[in-house]
Chain A
């Protein structure tokens, strides 16, 4: 393979574009992980949100409203996950798989019922809302669609938030239930609140994919939500690290689109890198101990 692609601005521009949904999904999983939840439902949430972004845009004629509707759908989906996992005590794994499979059925079902002729947003798309800076290198950084910048802002905001008083309460829910209890944290309520944020972020990630594709297709998410989960590990549970991890996965995607000779094998690289990172215990971080372990019997409301 030739290395020229790495000096082409197009390539890096594509990388940034591809990284946006992965980063948003990964940040959704990050905040959930820090609160002790393993957000396996992220993939299904994104699929439903992708459908609702297209449906919302088709109904309202506005791409902004489409994005908002997708985010709301994401919140609803994440809260359903919370009800299954916490209220019905399925635990994160079973609840996550249930939501995932449910969404795999519900999204194409709704698409077929509500849009018998196929859901499409026509010629609208997520575009940069300001003109090009001319220079192609400048465009890589400054001429992307708005949700790319939102992902960066969310990562910075999340980093700061985790250092605030409320952020510490969220972290206590992931680090030690004993500490959470000592702080008087209402675990279930806090985790539902965190899930609402996660759902909104996953909804935005789904919107980027749905509006990027333009019409609904069952493969529109194709594992990118699960890649988000992997990014959390690779980024060592730090929002900015996770953002970087999303860029690594996005680079692998972008290379795959550009270099036919490598084919799909390059897709393996980020996953293997994640396992290696787990093996060498990147920064000696292994994640919040409560992650995905669910609530103890009779947890406080």
Chain B
């Protein structure tokens, strides 16, 4: 069998496992709902109506998916170099903040052709800068990037929560902690009339496609993956590990920042407590779900977007509480890893010795 066919077969198996995981987790969810005494038919109806049943619902699903696609690709990109960027949430929030500040406070002309590009560029740069802190700590100090990006998430969240109570507090709405809305000119144009879906989804998909192509096809991307697979081997073959880490982390941050910019200019329009939903952590989950088949990241992004969109409808018509919907988000991950473990077990891969294949532990 040629290498190409073998790769195709492996990809087909991975895709099959992922589809199986999603279908199974949905089945589990329905069984769970029945066991808890909810009406499964009603819940299934609500799930469909809330996520894809109407044009409007589909618009909400895709709007919610937009940031997840970008954060998912961002986390995946960093992971290719062996880095965990769990700072997606902080980078997204800082990106949104930068977009807001730039379109409102720079005194730019109220023209979409100026405001939108400036806002998105500012968002990407801010996200990149935020991630750069963790990247520098990692490359020059060897500091664990998992911990530093986690710290930076808290710093971003606390700083924004203080800013919207202080300097950025809305004057028209002085009693609730929130900012003014961005000017209408700065809002992303709607893609489909009658929905809240904007061109943001197109931008997100295009950027995601470019990043995926570069990392899987271009020489620099392959070098980054070489670092992720075996850092020492990459170093001895002449790849500058610190430089690639720096670039990968900063690019990852830029993607998350852009996600924040798209949310601010296309979905939320102002910053209030809780404005950035679970997109950062959903990005981490999506990246790890599709780690071996990155072109499925947008698909998982849309599926998570559909779950987010269906949540309020599930609560409204089938009275399924938020807490159950929150738990449901973890189901695909758990089911997928159970399936992987089962596949390993079926292949007869026993958990023998660490050094069985003569591999040195990293």
Contact B327 A106 (CB under 8 A): yes
What's the minimum C-beta distance from A14 to chain B, rounded to whole angstroms? 20
Q: Which residue of B lies closest to A111 (CB)?
A: B323
Q: Which residue of B lies closest to A188 (CB)?
A: B351
Q: Which residues of A contact B328 (CB under 8 A)?
A: 105
Q: Which residues of A contact B323 (CB under 8 A)?
A: 104-109, 112
Across the interface, A98 reaches (CB within 8 A) one of B84, B146, B154, B334, namely B334
Q: A88-B337, A93-B284 are in contact. Are A300 and B351 (CB under 8 A)?
A: yes
Indicate whether A130 reaches chain B with its CB closer than 8 angstroms.
Answer: no
Across the interface, B340 reaches (CB within 8 A) one of A88, A112, A178, A296, namely A88
CA separation between A299 and B344, bound complex, in Å? Answer: 14
Q: A93-B86, A101-B326 are in contact. Are A278 and B281 (CB under 8 A)?
A: no
Indicate whether A94 reaches chain B with its CB closer than 8 angstroms.
Answer: yes
Interface size on B, residues (CB 8 A): 56
Indicate whether B288 reaches chain A with its CB closer than 8 angstroms.
Answer: yes
Indicate whether A87 reaches chain B with its CB closer than 8 angstroms.
Answer: yes
Indicate whether A263 reaches chain B with its CB closer than 8 angstroms.
Answer: yes
What's the minimum C-beta distance from A188 to chain B, rounded to whole angstroms? 8
Q: Which of B157-165, B241-249, B259-267 contacts A (4 or more CB under 8 A)?
A: B157-165
State which size class the interface on A falls in.
35 or more
Of residues 85 to 105 in A, which have CB atoms within 8 Å of B's CB atoms? 87-91, 93-94, 97-98, 100-102, 104-105
Contact A105 B327 (CB under 8 A): yes
Q: Which residues of A contact B357 (CB under 8 A)?
A: 298
Contact A97 B154 (CB under 8 A): no
Q: A88-B340, A181-B354, A299-B351 are in contact. Are A230 and B326 (CB under 8 A)?
A: no
Contact A296 B159 (CB under 8 A): no
What's the minimum C-beta distance from B30 to chain A, rounded to whole angstroms? 16
A interface residue numbers (CB < 8 A to B)? 38, 40, 84, 87-91, 93-94, 97-98, 100-102, 104-109, 112, 176-178, 181, 187-188, 223, 226, 229-230, 233, 263-265, 267-268, 271-272, 274-275, 278-279, 281, 286-287, 291-293, 296-301
CB-defined A-B contacts under 8 Å, sample of 12: A104-B326, A105-B322, A105-B324, A107-B323, A108-B322, A177-B361, A178-B361, A229-B147, A230-B147, A278-B141, A296-B361, A298-B349
